Structure 1
Amino acid sequence: MAAWRAMAALGMLSVLIMQPSICKASAAHRQLRQDAEGDSVVSPKSREGAQEYLSRAEQCAALGGLMSVDLANQWACCPAFCKTCGGADGCDKLLGGKDACCPATIQAANLKCSEIKAPPCVLDAGGRIRGPRNPDPPPMGVLPDPFKEISDAKGGLEESDIPPPTELWGDCTETRLCQQGSVCRLAAEGWAQCRPELEMCPPPDVEDEFDCTIIGSSVHPPLKDCYKWGYQYSGTVLETRETTDSPWQCQTRCQMKDKCVGVNFISDQQGKCILMASTTGTEAKPGVGWLAAPKTCGWDRLTNPVQKDFALELWLSDLIGNMTLEEKAGQMIIAPIFGVPEPEVTLKKYSLGAMLWPPGFYREAKIWQVAAEMDNFYAAAMDKEWASGIPIPPLMAADAIHGHNNAPHSTIFPHNIGLGAANDSVLMEKIGLVTATEMVASGIDWTLAPTVATARDTRWGRMYESYSEDGYTVENIVGGLLRGLQGNPEDPESFLAAPHVLATCKHWLGDGGSWGGLTDGDTVAAETELRDIHSRGYRACIEKGGVQSVMPSFTGTNTIEMHGYPFLLTDVLKNTYNLDGFLVGDWNGHARSGNDENGENLPGCTVEHCPFAINAGMDMLMIGGDWISFINNTARAVESGEIPLERMDDAVRRILRAKARLGLIGPDPTKVKGKPSTRKPYAARDDLMASDEHMEVAREAVRKSLVLLKNNRHVLPLKRSANIFVTSRLIDDVPYADFLPTHVGSWALSWQAEENTNADFLYGTSIWKGLSDVVTGGGGAAMLSKNGSDDFAATGEYDAIVAVIGEERYAEAAGDLKENSLLHHARYPADLDILDKITAKKSPDTPIVCLLVSGRPVYVNQHLNRCDAFVAAWLPGVAAGLGVGDVLFEGGYDFHGRLAHSWPASPCQATVNVGDGQEALFPFSYGLRMNQGETDEVGYLRELSDTRCT
């Protein structure tokens, strides 16, 4: 029967291959029809757009055209769409080399599509300029001309008549869909290509006038909220809660109830939440204390680029149908390697979905030895007697946060905060590929990364794991990294093929917005904030990267634990955002019952037993405890009906689908990978670790991540022949400037990385070493202070002083500042003491160049006032000195980085973010250049000394 099904499926595939455009158009048509008819969780705008699509499809058919979907997932009527081209001259090759119909606006300007080179935001993702939707749309293919007045007056248009974006909108800070007149402008690969000189954003007063949502596009303007202040629903009350902190919490409670359709919130002293079973309309209520909101404001339906393999799905159905409940339950577990002390015994008896290599293990081993350890786990699992007769090896996972950082002698890149400042999607793809290659060399095939949090509070201990406070920046960066890690999701031949690995986007959803910046705290936020700010990275993970797994957050949302939030896990992430991979839990995250007095947070859950989380949508749980008991308990819960068999089978299918795409299992045994050490040409190769090629990528990442905050008197770049004095405080009797563990940060060989020394990174280059190599190679000299600048001699022999200051190592909650302020010298007073000593001794003409190594923007006004030049170096990694040396000296590279996180103007300004109306010291996207004539000087800054913040 299985063979027959497979043959039938292959026959079906052959038909689909012959008609790919029809297949894709039909699939999109079916999806849009579902959206139009209300059979999905989408926003009202998306539903309206889907209904318009169906109407346009009828028009298209009447014209003899076919509704199709282009590579940007935008619909068009073909060939009717191109009837307005006006002959051969109207059609041209776009940037992707594809034939296209030039829109009327470009024809009016007497330009060909290929001649539109600047600004890059002129064309949308499909290479066309789209007009807004309106109640009476123009005929298909005819686009409005925003430059008609100019054209009529001059008798034609020249390219110079189309103003650059900065002239359109002036000095703007938002990063949104761009409009000019009635023409929508979209960056072809994300807005970052236009930033900052060519950044565009609409003035706020046109928000209601234009609507440029493009059906099926991967880029959308933010949806408007759905909260009606000063109104209440009439209808049937489901439940009333007398004490509710916020309307957002009230709406969240509604989402936890199947029968709830909306809420009324009354902001009295305690906050009353009324859950509605039905609504018959709204009525105005005087004052501002009332709010009415539906169950959800709506989420855009996303398109997953990874195409399902029908033959594989049939094969998986047969495999799952022949597995025992215990085998299925085992596939739903990821356990740490120390939780499987005798794999040859345990894995021969029990199924296990994945195993985790925690930081701190194998730190002294060779890579071939690590691969051999992975072989042992693989072999034990393959020796088990499987009910189906088909052995299923576990996924081998690691937290590859900034490179394959668990592994000794690995290429460790800057932490995400620095990569966000670089904001280079091509660089990110290189980083992803290097990371994947080194993972495969050690026998690891799954990374529990990247973190795609949009951090909104600088006090957060995971701040450096966030690329940006701006969701659009995160979205731009993540797509490139995912392509490097997993391969091209639109190419089945390369996707997840060697040396690519599975990736995990985390932590869904809102971990960067926790109240007070507390790790594992609670995010108090409106659904629209979660959707429009915090989910943007996940959109890229799915639409651009085809990510195969997502990890929910330890952080709760409006007091609901994410591991038990079915609306966001299943309704949104799986059914609407179209994740066809699996959800993997964080460490015992399913057992976090919280302090919910109403008992809605994971009721009845323990580490070894949690039906609620599984029913909410969790597919694989990370168990730091008795995972064998979890297998037995879960199997019994399915037998009793507490967990539906269909839910278990869906979870197992999602996990096995990812394993099959990776090549660990599959219907063709000849294409299935063997044990890790045999996966050539990358397996067990120590020579791949921190190879010259890989270190060059790390070096590029460092120099692009550096942000120049101050360059008074143009003291940078320094001469290569300069005599420099390098100073810093001491760490374990080693100068901070020469102490690589602080440059690398945490999540390196171990979690907090407190025990790391320079001996762990002999292949790396400290900031001191990088500076010294440049000047000694250029005929100059460098001296490193060994006692915190007490050895500085005011002899005037130095051309410059370089002070390296910064934070110590920390990870997660250990880095939370809580009530402490961002005042740097309150935590590290020696840094300011050194600058004061140097300032008192040096010649007035000798400049001080300061490099700040940190995992977050901090309040350093005192330091800025004492430094002539100031560079934010973030946590640069093992190539720190190489990248710094590339930029600080004449004949090298200019600064590239720009702030992806706003810089605080006061010690307690921890929640300053782009677009919030606050004035930062250095705003989002700020970053000076040395070689572009930028002359702005940073004057004397007010020095505040608040150490605690209320």
Structure 2
Amino acid sequence: MRYLVLLLSFLLLNLYSGNIIFAQNRSDIDQKVDSVLNLMTLDEKIGQMTQAERGALENISDISYYSLGSLLSGGGSSPSPNNQQTWADMYDEYQSHALQSRLGIPLIYGVDAVHGHNNVYGAVIFPHNIGLGCTWNPALVKSVNEITALEVAATGIDWTFSPCIAVPQNERWGRTYEGFGETAEIQEIMAAASVQGLQANLSEPQTILACAKHYVGDGGTQNGIDQGNTVVFEQVLRDLHMPGYIDAIENNVGSIMASYNSWNGVKLHGHEYLLTDVLKNELGFEGFVISDWAGVDQITEDYREAVKRAINAGIDMVMVPDRYIYFISILKSLVIDGEVSEERIDDAVRRILKQKFLLNLFEKPYTDSSLASSFGSAEHRNVARQAVRESVVLLNAKNDVMPLDKDNQKILVAGSLANDLGGQCGGWTISWQGSNGNITQGTTILQGIQNFVQSSEVIYSENGSYDDDVDVAIVVIGENPYAEGAGDRNSLLVEDEQVNLVKSIKEKGIPVITLLVSGRPMIIGEVLPYTDAFMACWLPGTEGDGIAEVLFGDYNPSAKLTHSWPREMNQIPINYGDYNYYPLFAYKYGLQEFPSALASQNLELYCAIAESPNTITLTLSDKITAYNIDYSDIELKVNNQVVANDLVDLSISDIDESSLILELNSSLNNTDKISISYYGDGIFSNSLQLNTFNDYYVYNSVSGSGGSILLPGKVEAENYVDMQGIQTEPCTDIGGGLNVGFIEPGDWMKYNVNVNQRGLYAVKTRISGYNSGSLLIQFNNENDTYVNYQSTNGWQSWQTFSTEVMLEEGSYEMKVTAQANAFNINYFDFELINNINDVDASLGEIVLKPNPVKSQFIIELNTYHTDNISIKLYNLNGILIQTLYEGQTSPGINNYNFILDNKINTGTYIIEIKDSKKRHFKKLITTKG
């Protein structure tokens, strides 16, 4: 034994005989890697391929006993108290145990530092990537990542699971904000800058290992479902989703994370062609591939088979994250049985060791204490402030409302998100999902505004109630924090309460600046007519005063969109380059001047909305001082048809002198597609004349439906927004009107519907004809349900045929597809059977009771068919606390009774209910007593 120790010491001394320099001594590092690899046993090699969550360690001595290669902190998995020093102490303790192993191979420790070191209280939190993308400033993004690397390194940590270079194609996806934008172009620019900033030459103490993720196609899943299926041709995968990885590889990214999603039905974690043939062999990636959190488990239910497929496909390190001992035993048996080759094991370990040498971990394994003084520093916050002001996109502006005056103004600030540090940081901040409130150190948007004024007065009213006169109001609206699948949404409409807040202030005659804090573009058609300036602030992080710097004119707006902004829900997905590309705001759009400068140049149409059946409001970019026009100068189109002689009156709005109200003779329906044209020359703002415009989009908000048919209610078959193959004809059924007919198999109609009550619906469909068959009804291309019908022996002999469907509150595109011919449809009548508080559109009703819970509770599921499900309890750090159920459901109501482990503490937890299609989340609050 003494001989072995002396031999090992001699070898390691030779390993460390020169400075490790990233570019010049790469061949020396390869020799050092081979020297260590030749000393390793199979057990030690498998240990290096294992990454465990710190909270899942059964014993800290397991680090050395199993020669674990890596630990991680999942979102929110922090030492107590949560600060820089305790993180450094924690890291050093874990590292000391790793160095006690037979070969003393150091750990590499990973965290999700995705917008700064967002795990640690007091760290600087930068805007999420969606905001950084809008800066179009790679030098700034490089600086952001340099600071992130330094602050992460100051806590000892040497690896971040960043950058995320997803290319989000559907804003319904809950991870949209993690990508830089919707094109390969922006991902390429920012992937390179991010990797350069994080890694530099890797051997310096302030650099850390980067991890490009999630390879590949995570942003392209059908319907924007997290961890779903990306169904595209390989050329699309290569042209759209892969270029960012190529740039990251060209900049020597040290690790790449496999994605949860599937490509054309095959899970990426088990995709040998993409992980090995393309990534490693074709693209020349020399780093190692890390799985996502328990991503290997999703390949197949047989864990042994899943591990075999993953390792053979090219996964080099497995983020287990909890059953690391079981994983080690499984992988060892696979090697012994010849199902995984030793060559594959050696390749994986060689890749891991190489990055550890490049990081200089063998020579300097512990925290560099000299970095602590820069953690959360004013210098770092200045860069974050710059990132904020360069990321906010000024979408619209009028009436010279900006810039604000630091003196002699009375400024009302409203909206709960104005004074919510956690809200403006978003998900992946201190905890996995993030949370509202003062969760760390920083400056809220409100505080930033208060800090900038001199003699101006700032009044904050969360609900906007303030009776005295004010000069201007700033209203902050948006989304509360979320992460991953918990952020998947069927509707991106601004909440009614927030719309009403903006409207109520504007209706007092107060100029309104609206700030949207969100992780994605949202549907803002109901808000724009009541706001004089609209800024997309994304999720800006801790330095809210960067927004104030733009509001008060210290800096001009400069950001440009990296997402196409949809007009309405049925436009989603909409992406640059689409056929019939007609967004509300286009890719790369963003005003680069203040409204006063804009107003001096042109008078433009700002927005248009129909809020009642007989009126349309046109809002201009400045106050209307005179108008003298013929009614024939304005042309209205409804459903692409010109409505002649429909205008009966014009007037200027009492609450906004820049708005012109058009009264109509006809009555608009909430399903109508409306556009308007102006060909005259008689509308003025002082010396400026309104420019003509053609087929300008009018947001349909008739009956408050957001342009959709309200459910419960009746969907007349002829009121489709799009169709293929069908025609209409007079109907003799009760109520008359029209029906659709001349139907062939594969013909379809689409409808915009808005469900305002969640629950189980009876769909009563009026059908006539000479054939039997079925109709497929889909909501946002999922939640399939069929209406089966029989022959009625007559083209106008109408009968009712029914089915049931569970619907969540929100907006949908309802698509009806014929499976047969020779029948007519009059209408679909949606009747609410059960009114339910919590419904998931994929699984059915989910009821959790009681909540809060002391020890026992019930989960009630309403499902449509037999399915395999799992029910698991996680803490807010994403750590599995208890597996509650794994098995099958039956169609209908399923009741599950659970008793919590008596070791579970009081607090808030996440219940994950996973079916064959997606994951569903519920919050559970536990109490004692």
TM surpasses 0.5:
yes
State whether structure 2 residue 929 is matched by structure 1 residue 929. no
Amino acid across the alignment from 1:901: H
Structure 1 match to 2:711 = none
Using the alignment, how far apart are the partners of 1:363 and 1:427 within structure 2? Answer: 33
CA distance in 2, matches of 1:324, 1:526: 43
Question: After superposition, what is the alpha-carbon deviation per residue over 1:467-502, rounded to whole angstroms, capped at 9, x for unaligned?
Answer: 010111111112111111000xxxxxx434210000
2:687 corresponds in structure 1 to: none
Deviation at 1:638, TM superposition (A): 1.4
Match of 1:789 in 2: 464
Where 2:589 maps in the other structure, the secondary structure is coil
How many angstroms does 1:515 deviate by?
0.3
Aligned to 1:637: 334
Offset, 1:905: 1.3
| Residue in structure 1 matched with residue 74 of structure 2 by the alignment | 358
Contact in 1 for aligned 2:414/2:473 (Cα 8 Å): no
- Cα distance between partner residues in 1 of 2:355 and 2:94: 19
Deviation at 1:3, TM superposition (A): 12
**Match of residue 530, structure 1, among 204, 224, 237:** 237
In the other structure, the counterpart of 2:316 is 619
Asked if 2 retains the 8 angstrom alpha-carbon contact of 1:711 and 1:937, the reply is: no
Is 1:878 equivalent to 2:542 in the alignment? Answer: yes
1:554 to 243, 246, 260: 260
The TM-score, its normalising length taken from structure 1, stands at 0.61
Q: Tell me which residue corresponds to 1:605.
A: 303
Match of 1:495 in 2: 202
Structure 2: runs of 5 or more not aligned: 1-6, 610-697, 701-705, 709-753, 755-810, 814-929
Which has the bigger relative contact order, CA under 8 A and spacing at least 6?
1
Which of 421, 438, 455 is 1:740 aligned to?
421
Mapped to 2, the partners of 1:781 and 1:769 lie a distance apart of: 13
Q: Is the 8 A contact 1:716 1:930 kept in 2?
A: no
Distance 1:792 1:514, change over 3 A: farther
Distance 1:568 1:510 in 2: 11
Secondary structure of 1:412's partner? Answer: coil
* Alpha-carbon distance change, 6 to 337 in structure 1, aligned in 2, over 3 angstroms: closer
Q: Does 1:938 align with 2:610?
A: no
Q: Measure, in 2, the Cα distance between the counterparts of 1:472 and 1:836.
A: 38
SS of residue paired to 2:606: coil
- Partner Cα distance (1:3, 1:723) in 2: 73
Deviation at 1:681, TM superposition (A): 2.1
Contact 1:5 1:314 in 2 (8 A): no
Alignment of 1:768 onto 2:449: no
Query: Counterpart in 1 of 2:735?
Result: none
- Change in CA separation of 1:405 and 1:3 when aligned onto 2, cut-off 3 Å: closer
CA pair 520-710 structure 1, distance change in 2 beyond 3 A: same
CA distance in 1 between counterparts of 2:464 and 2:531 reads 15
CA contact (8 A) 1:513 1:523 kept: yes
Matched, 1:316 2:27: no
**Residue deviations 1:841-881 (CA, integer Å, cap 9, x gap):** 23xxx42111111110011111111001110001111002x
Residue 430 of structure 2: which of 749, 752, 760 is its match?
A: 749
Q: 1:306, CA displacement in angstroms?
A: 5.7
CA–CA distance in structure 1, aligned partners of residues 14 and 137 of structure 2: 45
- Per-residue deviation, 1:752: 0.9
State the one-letter code of the partner of 1:355. L
Q: How does 1:89-100 map to 2 (within 5 A)?
A: none
Q: Is the deviation greater in 637-646 or in 327-336?
A: 637-646
Equivalent residue for 1:896, pick from 548, 558, 562: 558
SS of 1:790's equivalent? coil
Partner-residue secondary structure (3-state), 2:326: helix
CA-to-aligned-CA distance 1:144-186 (integer Å, 9 cap, x gap): xxxxxxxxxxxxxxxxxxxxxxxxxxxxxxxxxxxxxxxxxxx
Q: Judging by fraction of residues, say which structure has more helix.
A: 1
Q: Report the TM-score, using the length of structure 2 for normalisation.
A: 0.63
| 1:757 partner amino acid | G
Task: State the 1:716 CA deviation.
Answer: 1.5
| Deviation for aligned residue 1:606 | 4.7
- Assess, with a 3 A threshold, how the Cα gap between structure 1 residues 4 and 380 changes in structure 2: closer, same or farther: closer
The match for 1:709 is: 395
Which of 644, 648, 673 is matched with 2:364 structurally? Answer: 673
User: Which secondary structure state, in structure 1, belongs to the residue aligned with residue 303 of structure 2?
Assistant: coil
Residue 473 of structure 2 aligns with which residue?
801
Distance 1:474 1:697 in 2: 21
> Aligned to 1:563, which of 260, 263, 269?
269
Counterparts in 2 of 1:453-532, with a 5 A limit? 453-487=166-200, 494-532=201-239
Structure 1 contact 722–799 (Cα < 8 Å) conserved:
no
Match among 114, 122, 131 for residue 401 of structure 1:
114
Q: Deviations over 1:102-146 (max 9, x none)?
A: xxxxxxxxxxxxxxxxxxxxxxxxxxxxxxxxxxxxxxxxxxxxx
Separation of aligned partners in 1, 2:430 and 2:231: 34
Aligned to 2:740: none
Whether 1:856 aligns to 2:527 is: no
Q: What displacement does 1:801 show? A: 1.2
> Do the aligned partners of residues 351 and 541 (structure 1) sit closer, same or farther apart at CA in structure 2, a change above 3 Å counting?
same
Cα deviation digits, residues 742-797 of structure 1 (max 9, x gap): 1111101001123x522x33x3111111112212x2x21111114x012243x3xx
In structure 1, the residue matched to 2:143 is 430
Query: Are the structure 2 counterparts of residues 306 and 580 from structure 1 closer, same or farther at C-alpha, using a change threshold of 3 Å?
Result: farther
Q: 1:456 to 1:913 in 2, by over 3 A?
A: same
2:154 to 426, 432, 441: 441
1:240 maps to none
In the aligned structure 2, how far is the partner of 1:743 from the partner of 1:415? 10
TM-aligned CA deviation for residue 2 of structure 1:
11
Q: 1 CA distance for matches of 2:506 and 2:67?
A: 65
User: How far 1:315 sits from its partner (Å)?
Assistant: 2.3
Pair 612,929 (structure 1): closer, same or farther in 2 beyond 3 Å: same
Report the Cα distance in structure 2 between the residues aligned to 1:839 and 1:808, rounded to whole angstroms: 24
Deviation of residue 330 (structure 1)? Answer: 0.6
Separation in structure 2 between the aligned mates of residue 740 and residue 753 of structure 1, nearest angstrom = 11
Question: Bigger CA drift: 450-459 or 622-631?
Answer: 622-631
Instruction: Give the Cα–Cα distance (whole angstroms) in 2 for the partners of residues 680 and 809 of structure 1.
Output: 33
Q: SS of the residue aligned with 2:82?
A: coil
C-alpha deviation, 1:8, in angstroms: 13
Q: Distance in 2 between matches of 1:642 and 1:695?
A: 52
CA deviation vs aligned residue, 1:187-229 (integer Å, no higher than 9, x gap)? xxxxxxxxxxxxxxxxxxxxxxxxxxxxxxxxxxxxxxxxxxx
Amino acid at match of 1:943: Y
**Cross-structure match for 1:660:** 357
Report how far residue 823 of structure 1 moved.
1.6
Equivalent residue for 2:343, pick from 646, 649, 658: 646
Gaps of 5+ in 1: 18-304, 488-493, 594-601, 666-671, 730-734
Identify if the C-alpha distance between structure 1 residues 904 and 589 changes in structure 2 by more than 3 Å, giving closer, same or farther.
Answer: same
Q: CA deviation at 1:603?
A: 8.1
Distance 1:10 1:691 in 2: 34
